[in-house]
Structure 1
Amino acid sequence: MRALTALAAGTALTAGAAPGAGSPAAARTAADGATKAVAYRGHTFTVPADWQVVDLDRDPTACVRFDRHAVYLGTPGDRQDCPARAVGRTESLWVRPAAMPTKSAVTENRTDHVYRATVDGIAVTAAYGADRDGIRRVLDSAGLPVAAARTEKPAVAAAALTVPAVATTHQGKGFDACTAPGQTSMSTWRSASPYAAIGIYIGGVNRACSQEKLTAQWVQTQYAAGWRFFPLYVGPQSSTSSCGSACAPITDPAPQGRAAAEDAAAQAGALGLGKGTVIYNDLEAYDRGADTTAEVLGYLKAWTGRLHELGYRSGAYGSVSSLVADLVANATKTTLPDVIHFARWNDEDTTADPTLPAALWSDHQRIHQYAGNRKETWGGVTINVDRNQLDVGAGTS
């Protein structure tokens, strides 16, 4: 007997595109209030009628994304068909079997805009963008004690699963992918591909893809196999960001920068990435201007300062035409990140660039993302990736 049902006319259990935040379908739901019931393993969730229901048992390659209104049911396979990158956050739900019997519990991470719950054999991840009350109603509808939610406090990984800070140093090629690949894919690519470093998305309010495989054990296993890492944190974005209204914006730069750094350090620690690790704040391309520059640099200065207080090194990812241009123009007026991860998709696998003065980030402090959204196949395994050239040394925080 199937473990899920959708109790509404016209509900489709498919893995196609779901309406995104701000789409006409999303607007209609807000206007007419129509809902449907989605049942899974004895629990029924009431969600907006236009949310897509994705059956991961039927399509294990479907990408679990939190930048689209959808309900994902089940556990994704080892080879999710995700884009190389996705940014943004809206109301969405992922319900799956719990790994082990657990007591009913609900936690919330207000910085990341996510609830996590376990109850009677299921685990739930509920993301939200602007409509926190809406996702709370969805959880309430299934009897989850959301009103008693505790603040999420990621547990630091056991010492045996902690990797040294050199795990985030590398000279050579690396790739980043929206979700951490499964073990078969990682093992195959380690032996067959030119890559030896991987960008992993460890958290942030605008991290779109789920990270079902990304655990401290996964990090330890990859490190032992020779992989190195560049951890990415997708926090609030500029008010003129290319992701527009789909992304939570920077509204109070210094407090948000510090909060993001604290959350990033906690998420890194839970993955076994301890002090001395470089964590990169992902700031997507934006339109420069006096106000925008001030908000971005204020946010990033607070991010860097707080990471240093916590013993981590600061990295920043951004376009050469926006973030990098602002950092270079204000190099003597702000606190620069320890490592720059710059995006210029020119297919040149070098860490030199005309926009980067020789005196800045010159001591093994650069990553160049030189190509994006490329489907690559190595050893018969295909992953959608961004390509990077790394020159990152040990340095100091």
Structure 2
Amino acid sequence: MLAAAAPAAARPAADDATKTVSYRGHTFTVPAGWPVVDLDQEPTACVRFDRHAVYLGTPGEHQDCPARAVGRTEVLWVQPAVAAKASVTEDRTSRVYRATATNEGISITAPYGEDRAEIQRVLRSAGLPVATARAAGPARAPAAGAVPADATAYQGRGFDTCTAPSRTAMNAWRTGSPYRAVGVYIGGVNRACAQARLTAEWVRTQYANGWRFFPLYVGPQPSSGAGSCQNSCASITDPVPQGKEAAEDAAAQAVALGFAKGAVLYNDLEQYATGGTLTKRVLGYLEAWTERLHELGYRSGAYGSVSSLVADLVGNAGKVTLPDVIHFAHWNDENTTLHTAIPADLWAGHQRIHQYAGNRTETYGAVTINIDRDQLDVGTGD
């Protein structure tokens, strides 16, 4: 059963318009403007955390998600679940509440952006004791063990997409597509798509089937409006502590998914205007990320545009600790890891990925996925 909650704080008059949403015997009060998506009725709907919504149920086999989405706001996602006990936890790094209730079992995922109080009001309306929410516990390694570190090494074509595809989709694409590596979003405060399929078992299965990976982490961004953020991204304000915290969280997510030490973890930094404060923030953040990942036994990767992140890293080579692998974006439709913006002596030892096309819709084996295309040349780091 859900525990009784303390009365919610008074809401500002402008926020008074609300509606109630019920699911499996539980009722939530949410802002009137939030759309309600019944995933039983709309199984292909993409569960996204970058726009207000209420999602009810479990996503279908094939979600119609964009190739990429970045940002975070207040969202409520309620699914059926078998829960041994009621609980509420909060992950402040990723800005998300998770809860379970035993009466007509449900699990709740409630991410938030800048308005933590809003999502707290929504949860309290259903009797969830958010005031006594426990901090999310440390990630645990999968019982079956980790996949080898070469899981993030590959030379050839790959793709990335906002949410990890289903096993059926991966099997169809393994047979029919030219791709053999997949970019998966493992965490971060600005990861916008839910990851209903991404588990340690999924990683093990896809590795055994011949797939390799480039794990992406969407932490704080250069600014709230960087790249695809549309002013919805948590941003870098204190570079060194945030870089270390992001590295620790990314490593924890990697452990939980079964990526062994030695794997490359990529920090996704959207396009920004170089120079001045933003450049200083990005370089400090990314250097702290890289150095902390090394301490934790992982290799550092970074994703960004050739006109922003790559330009700043190249311009400051020798002054800062560079990531071990660069994942550079330039949509020129050239599937090569050579680029005039990157000197031949930087990231020269199988240390590059080129995202050479974006927002493409492709179909193999009757399964359609929206993707970005990538060319990989990534070794094991030996």
Letter in 1 for 2:305: S
Give 1:140's match in structure 2, choosing from 124, 141, 148. 124
Q: Trace 1:275-290 onto structure 2 (pairs within 5 A).
A: 275-290=261-276
Task: Tell me, in whole angstroms, the C-alpha distance in 1 between the residues paired with 2:354 and 2:232.
Answer: 26
Give 1:166's match in structure 2, choosing from 140, 150, 171. 150
Give 1:180's match in structure 2, choosing from 145, 164, 170. 164
Give 1:344's match in structure 2, choosing from 330, 333, 345. 330
Name the residue aligned to 1:157: 141
Q: Report how far residue 260 of structure 1 moved.
A: 0.5
Give 2:42's match in structure 1, choosing from 40, 59, 72. 59
Query: Which deviates further from its counterpart, 126-135 or 149-158?
Result: 149-158
Name the residue aligned to 1:206: 190
Name the residue aligned to 2:295: 309
1:85 aligns with 2:68: yes
Change over 3 Å in CA distance of 1:244–1:380 after alignment to 2? closer
1:45 aligns with 2:28: yes
Task: Tell me, in whole angstroms, the C-alpha distance in 1 between the residues paired with 2:256 and 2:100.
Answer: 19
Name the residue aligned to 1:241: 226
Question: Which ranges of structure 1 fall in alignment gaps of 5 or more residues?
Answer: 1-28
Name the residue aligned to 1:329: 315
Q: Is the 8 A contact 2:142 2:257 kept in 1?
A: no
Task: Tell me, in whole angstroms, the C-alpha distance in 2 between the residues paired with 1:65 and 1:40.
Answer: 19
Query: Which deviates further from its counterpart, 238-247 or 348-357?
Result: 238-247
Letter in 1 for 2:329: A
Task: Tell me, in whole angstroms, the C-alpha distance in 2 between the residues paired with 1:105 and 1:32.
Answer: 28
Name the residue aligned to 1:103: 85
Q: Report how far residue 159 of structure 1 moved.
A: 4.5
Task: Tell me, in whole angstroms, the C-alpha distance in 1 between the residues paired with 2:139 and 2:250.
Answer: 13
Task: Tell me, in whole angstroms, the C-alpha distance in 1 between the residues paired with 2:344 and 2:313.
Answer: 14
Task: Tell me, in whole angstroms, the C-alpha distance in 2 between the residues paired with 1:32 and 1:324.
Answer: 43
Q: Is the 8 A contact 2:359 2:370 kept in 1?
A: yes
Return the TM-score normalized by structure 1.
0.91
Name the residue aligned to 1:21: none
Name the residue aligned to 1:115: 97
1:216 aligns with 2:181: no
Aligned residue pairs total 367
Residue 231 of structure 2 aligns to a residue whose secondary structure is helix
Of all paired residues, the percent bearing the same amino acid is 71
Change over 3 Å in CA distance of 1:256–1:390 after alignment to 2? same
Q: Is the 8 A contact 2:174 2:180 kept in 1?
A: yes
Runs of 4 or more consecutive aligned structure 1 residues displaced over 3 Å after TM superposition:
none
Q: Report how far residue 158 of structure 1 moved.
A: 2.6
Q: Report how far residue 214 of structure 1 moved.
A: 0.3
* Post-superposition CA distance 1:109-141 (Å, at most 9, x none): 111111111112101100000011111111111
Task: Tell me, in whole angstroms, the C-alpha distance in 2 between the residues paired with 1:65 and 1:123.
Answer: 17
Query: Which deviates further from its counterpart, 106-115 or 202-211?
Result: 106-115
Residue 324 of structure 1 aligns to a residue whose secondary structure is helix
Residue 246 of structure 1 aligns to a residue whose secondary structure is coil
Task: Tell me, in whole angstroms, the C-alpha distance in 1 between the residues paired with 2:301 and 2:246.
Answer: 13
Give 1:196's match in structure 2, choosing from 180, 189, 192. 180
Q: Is the 8 A contact 1:161 1:217 kept in 2?
A: no
1:262 aligns with 2:245: no
Q: Is the 8 A contact 1:279 1:312 kept in 2?
A: yes
Residue 118 of structure 2 aligns to a residue whose secondary structure is helix
1:225 aligns with 2:192: no
Letter in 2 for 1:110: R
Task: Tell me, in whole angstroms, the C-alpha distance in 1 between the residues paired with 2:342 and 2:290.
Answer: 20
Letter in 2 for 1:295: R
Residue 212 of structure 1 aligns to a residue whose secondary structure is coil
1:127 aligns with 2:132: no
Task: Tell me, in whole angstroms, the C-alpha distance in 1 between the residues paired with 2:61 and 2:300.
Answer: 31
Name the residue aligned to 2:283: 297
Q: Report how far residue 331 of structure 1 moved.
A: 0.5
Q: CA-atom RMSD, angstroms? A: 1.2
Name the residue aligned to 1:273: 259
Q: Is the 8 A contact 2:83 2:100 kept in 1?
A: no
Residue 333 of structure 2 aligns to a residue whose secondary structure is coil
Letter in 2 for 1:144: L
* Post-superposition CA distance 1:180-211 (Å, at most 9, x none): 01110011101111111000000000000000
Q: Is the 8 A contact 1:154 1:267 kept in 2?
A: no
Question: Which ranges of structure 2 fall in alignment gaps of 5 or more residues?
Answer: 1-11
1:361 aligns with 2:343: no
Letter in 1 for 2:319: K
Name the residue aligned to 1:26: none
Change over 3 Å in CA distance of 1:159–1:165 after alignment to 2? farther
Task: Tell me, in whole angstroms, the C-alpha distance in 1 between the residues paired with 2:15 and 2:314.
Answer: 49
